[in-house]
A and B are shown apart, each in its own frame.
Chain A
Amino acid sequence: MAKNQDIIKSIDLISDLRYQITNQIEGKSLLACIQCGVCSSGCTVSQYIDLQPHRVVACLLLGLKDKVLNSNAIWYCSLCHRCTERCPKSVDFSFILALVRNMAVKEGYIPPEYEVSINAVLQHGFTVPYSGDMKKTIDRNRAKFGLPEIIPPKLDELIFIVKETGLEKTLEDAKKKKKEVKI
């Protein structure tokens, strides 16, 4: 017998959750899953995660949004792409997981390390800081090997792209919601 707290009421299911994935680029393959579990059996990080890949797909299809967003499975993926490679129904699970992480970010779940990366890209054009003293050191190291000067991107172009694609607003909203990432 299931305990009371394990029972999920149909009213709590997000019935269009699957479409929030399938209406995005490469998301349609989600619907092809037959729950065979090949993805989970070959998963590099299966022993570290609390929701196996085929269960993540099942939750997405059922509309169990919180269950997925509160799982560490979405953050511990090593991006080895074996799930996608081996799926007999061509479900692109490793990419769908990126779409799920996008969904989590919109809900306010952002690993601090990801914020560091996007801020570095917006401030320097690269994930590695490249300005001020850092730039001097890097340029000196490059000169030792006779390497050509780096012509970095125009930062206002990158800032424009981040704004126009909606990420700037997503990050501002996420700051207000600020939820702790389960890692």
Chain B
Amino acid sequence: MPNLYVTGSPAPASDFLARNGLRYGQIYGFATELATHRDTFHINATNGAKVSGKWLRGPWRWNGTVLPFIYDGSWDFQNQPVGYFGTNYTFWNGRGKNTRGAKMEHNSPGMLPPNFIFCFSL
């Protein structure tokens, strides 16, 4: 059945953002143990190349309270993912955490099964 809570109770219909899952959620970043940074990897990557990793999160989550940007989740990717401090897992930024990477521009969903993945162009 559509539009239900995990508890199975009926969902409200009146709040547009809540109805569409845009109030309560979590951002995950792709993290890997790979030492090669993302931009460097893509320069030499061939079609079909794969990177092992996990979708992991930082500590930030939108709670509905408007705060200055210095409190935003945009900073989380310079730290290790929650629960992975001290491991080799880091967020796979363009050029690590000490240098700006390439701009990330246009992403697109794979529309046909089983390719429910997405791709980025840099």
A binds B: no
